[in-house]
Chain A
Amino acid sequence: MGNLLEVSNLGKIFSLGGLISKNSVTAVEDFSLEIPEDRQVIITLAGESGSGKSTIANLLLGFIKPTSGRILYRGKDVWKLKGAEWKRYRRELQAVFQDPYESLNPFYKMSHVMMGPIKKFKLSKSESEAYKLASEALLEVDLNPEEVFSKYPHQLSGGQRQRVMLARVFLTRPKILVADEPVSMLDVSLRADILKIIQNLEAKHDMSCLYITHDLSNAFCISNEIIILYLGSVMEQGNFGAVIKNSKHPYVKMLVSSIPIPNPRSRWEGRVKLQEVETARLETIVGCKFCNRCPEAMAVCREKRPPLLDLEENHKVACHLYA
């Protein structure tokens, strides 16, 4: 079977300044991703701020156009889709974002919010059927439809608002969900519920998910594959367990060892080194993007960008140490 979504060598360069200055920022470089058609996956896309995670989300959702590379959906270039095909892509690829309060119009009740996708994609023939669909979707995310329909966004809690967003996504029965930091605005005690809903949609309703986050602990709960980005490039990717328990890239090792474990008996060992001054602009780095911070940097790291190497089955790393 082919791939549902195939992203190859995707790149995005934002140019800054006016017509005269030629400053630019490489937000994403040579990014590839595959989501298979015959089975569901939850892939985590992780990285610190400025690593390009949200740019990738925006590229996949068609909000911005890639500078290089292609996004193929069901074998067709997304930027060449037209009419019904484009609509199908927009229906089958859905998104939830970090702040549900920003996604919801404060003037509309939830009943209106839920009707949006039904009308847009003509999911029902009659009004009563529309309400039935909306109620089912809300029940799927453990909300009481009768209670929620008449509420405005400010009358719901953060967790409830995010559930409404997921119910809305569920209406269109998407094949892929792009979830950009869906729980980071919520209180710790409520996050698990949202993660369970995403997991449930994957298991019961054939939906794959690209879970974008900076928080590996939450991602590890539901995801089995991970891609770790640093300044727009993939550093390491593969099986989630292998990448965190047997990290290869010096950046990933540093990242994983800095993640706090909620157990006073496994505390951080040693001290992490911080940068003393701001580093040079990224565009001036020709070698590995991490070489200035890397404890194991070699001469070659400053000269040549490391390719993404296959280490073992489903574990890749972009580091000269393993060449």
Chain B
Amino acid sequence: MGPPLLEIENLKVYYETRTVPVRAVDGVSFAVREKEILGLAGESGCGKSTLAVGLLKLVSPPSYIAGGKVFYRGKDLFAMNDEELRRIRWKHIALLPQSAMNALNPVMKVYDQIKDAMEAHDGKNPGADPKNYVLTLLKSVALSSRVSGAHACELSGGMRQRAIISMAMALKPELIVADEPTSALDVVVQRGVLELLVDLREKAGSSLLLISHDIAILSEVVDRLAIMYAGKMVEIQDVYDIFDEPLHPYTQGLISSVPSLEKGGIPRSIPGLPPDLRQPPLGCRFYPRCPNASEICRREDPEFKEVEPGKFVACHMNS
């Protein structure tokens, strides 16, 4: 695995409310390395999607960046002006937002939309043959050339999702941030779309930050797995290590709450509910649900740190 491509330092993304802000992403630090697939998992409301848009500064009110820095190949993204950022987005870092399949413009043909996105972020290229290039792109996601002339409503969910993926790959970005790219798809199509994404990324040599609530899906393809809970990063490890020996009690709970066709039987649930992110608990945000909590967990927020090479965790009981 390569050196870091994207480094996120103490990122905070909050949502303004009438009273106190919702601290949806509250001091998250991690790195995406070159050519890796990093999975990011957590329950709904843990801040996964907010993190995905926050790291590209694609926030709009009521959400705002409340602190932190993001470095892409050492360059500070948040110090750039809008124009510079626009050149990074899509060309270097592409974001597939949640329910991206609904992101296609209903009155534009697929071909025109892909061409549009390319020109918006890369400028017009007089010598190029966009028609041919788009057809190659569509072929790479196993879509026939007929799709280029189709409107979104003529395509199934899986085909729309593939069209969007081809659009994201158009400028060969170095990092693709994919937020739940397969969550609304049927099982077989979900597998197919994910395999496509992984293969395309392999060919292009890009990195992938794959966000999902489903750790079973992530365990199929990722190299490393990151777990978020209530706006905090709680653990990052190699995917094999994290399944063999999860360090954080939340990760342990999450893994054993997933049903498996291999094992059968009802899995264990995690008692309790995630905290209100307007007033999260003072110490560790997981302590009210944690089976191992002690006095210090109530008082002090555990630091997210590397406890062994490549193993990051935020837990008082593990440092």
- A interface with B by C-beta (< 8 Å): 48-49, 157, 159, 187-193, 195-196, 199, 214, 216-218, 220-222, 244, 254-256, 258-268, 271-278
Contacts and interface: CB of A to CB of B under 8 A. Distances in A.
Contacts of B221: 267
A257 to B, nearest CB: 8
14 contacts: A189-B257, A192-B266, A216-B187, A222-B266, A244-B261, A258-B187, A259-B261, A260-B216, A261-B219, A262-B258, A266-B262, A267-B219, A274-B193, A275-B159
B259 A221 contact: yes
Given A189-B253, A191-B259, 10 more contacts: A187-B43, A192-B257, A192-B267, A221-B265, A262-B255, A265-B240, A268-B191, A274-B162, A274-B193, A276-B142
Contacts of A216: 187, 261
Contacts of A266: 262
A278 B156 contact: yes
Nearest to A187: B43
A302 to B, nearest CB: 21
Interface string B268-309: 111001000000000000000000000000000000000000
B105 interface: no
Interface in B153-171: 154-156, 158-159, 162
Interface stretch (B84-92, B120-128, B143-151): B143-151
Given A262-B216, A273-B192, A189 B264 contact: no
Contacts of A191: 257, 259, 269
B219 to A, nearest CB: 5
In the A-B complex, the 6 residue pairs with the closest CB atoms? A48-B186, A260-B216, A262-B216, A192-B269, A258-B191, A189-B270
Interface string B164-205: 000000000000000000000011111111011001000000
Contacts of A258: 187-188, 190-191
Contact of A214 (B186, B199, B261): B186
A266 B262 CA distance: 9
Contacts of B215: 188, 262
A214 B186 CA distance: 8
A274 B216 contact: no
A190 B259 CA distance: 12
Contacts of B155: 278
A261 B186 contact: no
B254 A214 contact: no
A214 B195 CA distance: 20
Contact of B269 (A193, A259, A267): A193
A48 B266 CA distance: 23
Given A260-B220, A265-B240, A199 B255 contact: no
B266 A254 contact: no
Contact of A217 (B159, B216, B239): B216
Contact of A274 (B154, B196, B258, B268): B196
A218 B261 contact: no
A220 B43 contact: no
A271 to B, nearest CB: 5
A254 B190 CA distance: 12
